[in-house]
Structure formats: C-alpha cells, structure tokens
Structure 1
Amino acid sequence: MNRLPKSAARSAAGETGGAENGGSSVPKSFRIVQSAIAPRAPECIFTERMDAKQKKLLGAVSVFHVFNDASVVTLPTIFPLLYTQRYLIKRYADIGSLMLVGLAVSILFHFFVGHWAKGRHYRPLLFLGVLTVGLFLWLTPYARSFGMLLLFYVGVRIGSSVYHPVGVSWVTHSFGGRLFDRAMGIQSAFGDVGVLSAFLGTGYLAQHYGWSVPLHVWGALCAAGAFAGLVLSRGTNGADDAGDESEAVSWRETILDQRHLVVPAVVGGVAWGINMAYAPSLLNHRLGAPISLTGIILGGWIAAGVAASLTYSRIAARIGRHGVIVLGFSATAVSTLLIGLSTNLALTAALIAIFGYALLLTFPALLTLVGASAKSKNRTAAFSLIANLQIVGNAVFVFISGFMSDAWGIHTPFLMLGALSIFVAFYAVALRKRERRIAPPPPLVEGIRP
C-alpha cells in the first residue's frame, strides 16, 4: 500500500501551515487565499500539543532568535551616546549612513542564504550566524574611526542576516495546522525578549560603565548563546517537511506568491528602522531623557511587543491574519503621529508602548501569511525576500530620515511613519476584501469552523 508523504498527509487533514495541499481538489490559488484569511475557532487552537522534538526545535530556534535580535539593537542604542560625545558619529546623517550600508549588505546575504540554504543547513547556519554577531560586537569598541565602526557594524549585519530566512523557515517546515500560528508567535516573542534585554542592559551599562562595556558583554553572550542553541538543537537537524532538496528554488514563483505582501513588509521595516535609529535620539535629545531612562522606555516598547507576539494566535483566530494587519497598522498610525507631535515625556513613553504592541502584532501575522502562500522548496527564499523588503524600507527611509531630522527636527520621521501606516491600513482592508471575494468556502475540517 502506497503511503502519502508526510506533508501531503497533513495537507489532506487540513493541518499544514504552508502551501502544500497535495490531497485537495481546490485550485492552488484559491487554497492559498483560503489558508491566509480563514480565521479558526479560538477554543480549538490550543487543544493540539507539540511533541518532544517540536518543543526541542522551537526552544533552540528561540535561543538563536533571542541573541540574534539583541545584537541588531545593541549598536543603535549606543549611537546617541557617540553622537553626544562627538566620537565617531558627528551628525544624524552618520547614523543614517551606517544603517544604509549595513542593511544593504544584509540584502545581499539574505538572497545568498535564501537561495543556497537547505534543511540540512539550518542548524549550522544559525550557529555560525549568531557566533559571527558576537565576534563583531566584541570588536566594535576597538574602532578608532568612522570607517572602522562601519566595518564592524557590517560584520554584525552579516551575522544577523541568517536567522530570519533560516530560523523562520525551519519553524514553518516543522509546524502545521493549529500549531503554526502558536509556534510563529512564540519564536517572535523570544526575538522581542532579546531586543528588550538589549535595550535595558545596554542603556544601563553604557551610562554607568561606558559605551564599550555593553558591546563586550553582548558579544560574549551571543557567543555563549550560539553554543547553547547548537547543543539544544542536537537531534533536530534539517526540517521534517523540507520537500525535495534537489529541486531548485524559483525566485519567479516566490515573487509572484508574495507580491500582495510587499506593501506591509516594506512599511513594517520602515517602522522598525525608524524606532531603532531615531527613538533613542528623540527621547534623549528632544525630550531630555537620560540614556538609562531611554533604555527603559524603549524596553517598554519591546515588552509590549512580547505581549503582542504571545497573544497573536488568539487575536488571529478571531479576526484573521489580514485583520491583524489592519488592526496593527491602524494603531501604529495613530500612536506615531501623536509621538511626532508630543512634547511630554510621560505621554510619549505611553504612546511608544502602544506603538510597540501594534507594530509587533503585525510581524507574526505577516510571517504566517508568507508561510501559507510559499511552496516548500521556496520557503527559505520567501522569508529571505520578505526580510529584504523590510530591509529596503528600513534602509531607504532611515537614510532619508537622517537628513529630515537635521533639517526639521528629530520628530519628523515619526510623522512620516504615521502617514505611511494609514496607507497600509487601508491597503490591508482592500486586500482582505479582494481575497474574500475570490476565496471558495473553507472546507469542513474537524475542529475548525467553516
């Protein structure tokens, strides 16, 4: 008796998080739309349990994500202090230039990793990525010129370019059905925890011991985290549902499958980049917050994001993944416009927390939409593409925002972000209506409401 492949068997049962649906008679284009927009019953989502291997894999991926994302924000948190001291960074435009060059390098490495990486490479690639990040963070305090600072920052960006195409793809290959949204939310939350730790720890250490100490501390922690993730992921090499690894990645298929997600991906990158690059300066220079308090406020931003990631699967079950995008960007628009207008530190701190919850709620929604619409062979490439779209938005608008801040004030980027977020919210509403019009009725699957 012939047995169905594992991915096809899960698809036939309505449990696959990605786009393979080998047992279905519904046209593929309809299946992708259906998987992306159909909300599931809230009371059924948390009844399915992870097995021991899935828990181990998710734990290892989460460890890698913690240190990867912590590294991404450690240096930008130091930038205002370097600007204040006029050491290495002398203009806001220097911050924009650093971000632009580093993120441009990330684009190249994302494409390389997305095209080349297979399931058997996931574990060693994640280890090497986080280890590289730790090495260059450790070296950064030895920079004696802006050029050396740029070089070390590029090294950090190279190492941090591995996780999002590889780690997220590993989760997508290994979880399906009701566990898909849960796993995506959990790994997103751990990345947010890393950012939170970096905000709080970096600000405190920099103010009390000097700007070089947090870079040495995080460099050592990233190296330790790389080895911890390697040990924890032992026995979980590759992906259970990675498809035929001899089949070549098709970038054309990947782009066509993800074309409707370009706008939210780009503006999500813009929002992240503006907050990382300019919120510290907004708080420190415009509102007079000391660097330690700045770290606490930005820690509140990401702490709200942790809560958003952990509650994502419940919210998506009620309003759907596109509904989450609409809700998140609507709240982002309101909060960032008010941040740009506010001159009160306490009010700004509260608005930044709301902004964090709203923006970071959209990230797991975007990733699950990507995983639902990408073919198995193209998933790593799809996450690479989305990460690069976020980087493009991040790099271009952060670069422009440096000159805008020099000309009109450090609050200007937040006003621009508010306007962009309004556009994305209306775009997501239109996209949701369009896909509901073309989607067939969802199948009757046990435990899922039609």
Structure 2
Amino acid sequence: MAPDRRILFANSIYHLTNDAAVTVMAGQITVLRADLGFGNTETGLLVATALLVTLVAQIAFGRVADRRDPSRFLPIGIAYLGAASFLVTGATSFPVFVALVAVSRIGAGFYHPVGISWIGRAYAGRDLDHAMGFQSSFGDMGVILGMGSGAILGSAVGWQAPFLLWGALNLAAVALGLLLVRGRKSPPPPRSPSRVAYGPLLRDVRYWILPIALGGAVFNVVSNFGPVLVRDKFGEPDATAGVSIALWLLAGSIAAFYFGRLSARFGRYRTLLVAYFLLTLAGLAAAILPLPFALAALWTAGSALFVTYPATFSYVSEASHIRLQGAAFGVIFGFQLLGGAAAAYAAGVLAQAFGANPSAPFYLVAALCGAGFVYLLAVRSRVETHGEAISTATPQL
C-alpha cells in the first residue's frame, strides 16, 4: 500500500503547532524571569514541573491510544493545548504561572505517544525513516517558530502575546488536520490485551532508554538556558538571546530533514555516534568560547541533536510490536521527559551554585553527550544483534 501523504502532512502540522506552543516559554524565558521575578533554580523547577506533568499525561494517553483512531484522538490533545495556552496568560505571579503551565502541558502529552505511533503504524522500512525525518523536521520548525516568536513578541509586546498566538494556531491546525484526513480513517488496531506487559516492552526498547533520556536532557537545557547564557554572560538583549537559540533550532531542523539520506548513506547507528561526538564538542564550546564561536558551534555541531530524534524514533518503532506502539511511545518518551526534567533542574541548581554562572548548564550538556557517545560505543554489537533479531517484526502495511 502506497504511503498516504495527507496523513503525514496532517500529523506533521499537529507536531509543528504542538511544539511551538510548548516552546514559547523557553523563547522568552529571560522576559518571564524579569517580569515574574525568578532565577536559575526556579527556571529549572518550572521546566521540570512542566515536563513531569507531560510525562504522566503521555503515559496515560499512550495506553488509551492503542484503542483509538489516532486521526480522531490526536486532535483532542492539540485543541486542549490551544485552549489552555489562552489560560496561561492570566498568570500574575510565578506560582500561578507554574500551575497554569502545568495544566496546559496535559495537552502536550498527546503528540508523542499518539502522533509518533500513528507514523509507526502507517510506514515501514525506508518509508518509515523518511516519514520520521519529515514529521520531526516539522516539529523542529514549530520549536523554531515558537522560540523566535516568543523572543520577539515577548520582548516587544509582552509575554502573553506568544501564548495567545500559538493557542489560536493550535485550534486552526485541528480544523486543517481534520479536513486533510476526512474519509481516511485509520484501520482499527489489532485487539490488544487489557493490561500492557511493560516488562517485555521495556526489554524490547532497553537499548534506547538512555539515548532518549539524553535527547530530552540536552534539548531542555539548551533551549531554556541558552537564552540565559546569551543575555547574562554576553550581555545581549532578550530578543537576540531567544532568536540566537531559534537559529540553533533552524540548523537542527535542516539536519533532521536530511536524516533519511544520512541514514541510507552512512547507517543509522553510525549517524547516532557521530551526532553525540559533535554534541560533546558543541557543549564545551558554548561554555568556554566567546559569543561568536559559541554560537557557531551550537549552530553547526549542536544541530546534530536533531538527527538523534528520528534515528531513535525509528529504532523504537521497529523494536515495539504494532499493537503496543501507543503504549511503547508513551513509556519510552516518558524517559525523554524524565531526562529533560532532571537535567533542567540540575542545570538550574548548578548555575546558581556556581554564583549564577550561565556557563554551568553547558558543561553539563558536554558531560551528558560524552557519556552518550561512550554508551553507544559500548552497546553497539548488542544493539546490532538485537536489531537483526527483531527486523522481521517491523509491520508490513
């Protein structure tokens, strides 16, 4: 069966608006810190709280997704996130802001378990790598637009404006997505057991738990503490601080778009290894070099982070049985959120402990990515053997 491009496009639009809505906070984090009066430790606490709420929602929705048509179930979460983004603008203090952001992140718990598993059901083989890279690049573009609009609108108009903008665009995405897949209901999934056997599921994807967690850790540290580095260490204005990290995301989006070609030419696993090595160098450069060189390192070597996402998405999709893919993605990306929450909080504590040092989070990034590189080298032979054993379980559509 030929891949349905409308399904891929609708899914990708949802990914774009979802990721933009949750990234506007990072784009204007320096504005929020000034207006609501909080510092490094509170920044880490805010990010960790948002991610942990998303984690709980993601696991719950991942289990339910196995019994739902994703083309109808996913828009519910996107619409909820859009409506909740409007509510966030009512915050008048840091505690209220944290609470409202947490409420909104329930909606953000839909996309990864429902949207990514939808792609995993619909595509296989090289089509899977292409589809994963395509939707991932749309998600990255959403992060770019969310980061950039948050930085520019937040500093020029007020921090509420980006939340209002992307709340409205999420609702518009639901209307467009439903139109695109009208008359294209996903086939009902095979009957699944009433209780998911998480033990075998985690064994299937065990080699990818650490890379997924590291991906969440690095992204959340750079996106939330990158603007702080640019403003507090180098003295740049709020808009420049946010836009500079948005440009890192732009470079990453381009890299993710070409993941399918990179995977076909060099191999998926080799691509992952090189990505983690480059990320280690980028973290060190951002921490110790002057602004032009620090940003150049992030925009080049640092963009390798975004290649790791479609690579690991593809491995997880191949390792999990189709009837459990919603649960698989709900659980496995829970580790991504846990990694992000732990690293963001640790980055805030480290930055504060070293005299409000904005470079400290990037030493953490370098250490984490270096550990990831060593880990991938250590498990390479076992992963390749495991991959050969499960390759025949890849769904044929």
TM bin (shorter chain) = over 0.9
Measured at CA, do residues 436 and 141 of structure 1 come closer, stay the same or move farther in structure 2, by a change above 3 Å?
closer
Say if 2:100 is the partner of 1:148: no
Could you say which residue in structure 2 is the equivalent of 1:337? 284
Q: Which amino acid aligns with 1:308?
A: A
Partner of 2:39: 91
CA contact (8 A) 1:97 1:399 kept: yes
Q: TM-score, normalised by structure 1?
A: 0.82
Aligned counterpart, 2:147: 199
1:391 to 337, 358, 363: 337
Q: Which moved more, 1:185-194 or 1:372-381?
A: 372-381
Which of 167, 174, 181 is equivalent to 2:129? 181
For 2:115, give the aligned amino acid.
G
C-alpha separation in 2, matches of 1:234 and 1:174: 16
Task: Decide whether aligned partners of structure 1 residues 238 and 348 sit closer, same or farther in structure 2, where only a CA change above 3 A counts.
Answer: same
Q: Work out which of the two has the higher radius of gyration on C-alpha atoms and give 1 or 2.
A: 1
Q: Specify whether residues 173 and 94 from structure 1 end up closer, same or farther in structure 2 by C-alpha distance, changes over 3 A only.
A: same
Q: Which amino acid aligns with 1:400?
A: A
**What does 1:181-330 correspond to in 2, within 5 Å?**
181-239=129-187, 242-245=189-192, 248-330=195-277
1:67 aligned residue:
17
1:361 is the counterpart of 2:307: yes
Conservation of the 8 A alpha-carbon contact between 1:130 and 1:160: yes
C-alpha distance 167-436 of structure 1, shift in aligned 2 (>3 A): closer
Aligned equivalents of 2:105 and 2:389: distance in 1? 44
Deviation of 1:439 (Å): 6.9
Q: 1:231 to 1:428 in 2, by over 3 A?
A: same
1:348 aligns with 2:298: no
Q: For the aligned residues, what is the CA RMSD?
A: 2.1
Residue-pair matches, total: 390
CA distance in 1, matches of 2:296, 2:31: 23
Distance 2:69 2:96 in 1: 31
> Any idea what SS the aligned residue of 2:80 has?
helix
CA distance in 1, matches of 2:73, 2:359: 39
Q: Which residue of 1 aligns with 2:395?
A: none
Counterpart residue identity of residue 316, structure 1: S
Q: Which residue of 1 aligns with 2:380?
A: 432
* 8 Å contact from structure 2 (residues 15, 142) kept in 1: yes
User: CA–CA distance in 2 between the matches of 1:359 and 1:74?
Assistant: 20
Q: 1:58 maps to what in 2?
A: 8
Out of 82, 87, 100, the position equivalent to 1:139 is 87
The residue aligned with 1:114 is: 62
Contact 1:66 1:194 (C-alpha < 8 Å) held by counterparts: yes
User: What is the SS of the residue equivalent to 1:120?
Assistant: coil
Mean alpha-carbon deviation: is it higher for 362-371 or for 153-162?
Answer: 153-162
User: Which letter does structure 2 place at the counterpart of 1:73?
Assistant: T
Amino acid at match of 1:66: L
Structure 2: unaligned runs, 5 residues or longer? 392-397
Question: Which residue is 1:417 aligned to?
Answer: 365
One-letter code aligned to 1:125: F
| SS of aligned partner of 2:191 | coil
Q: Secondary structure at the match of 1:243?
A: coil
55-64 or 68-77: which moved more? 68-77
Structure 1's unaligned 5+ residue stretches are 1-5, 7-49, 444-450
* Percent identity over paired residues: 28
Q: Report the equivalent of 1:10.
A: none
- The TM-score with structure 2 as length reference comes to 0.93
Deviations 1:43-88 (A, max 9, x none): xxxxxxx54xx1010011001000011012111222211223xx32
Q: Distance in 2 between matches of 1:123 and 1:129?
A: 11
Query: Alpha carbons of 1:76 and 1:200: their partners in 2 closer, same or farther (altered >3 Å)?
Result: closer
Letter in 2 for 1:396: A
Relative to its length, the structure with more helix (as a share) is 2
The reply to whether residue 168 of structure 1 matches residue 116 of structure 2 is yes
Which letter maps to 1:102?
A
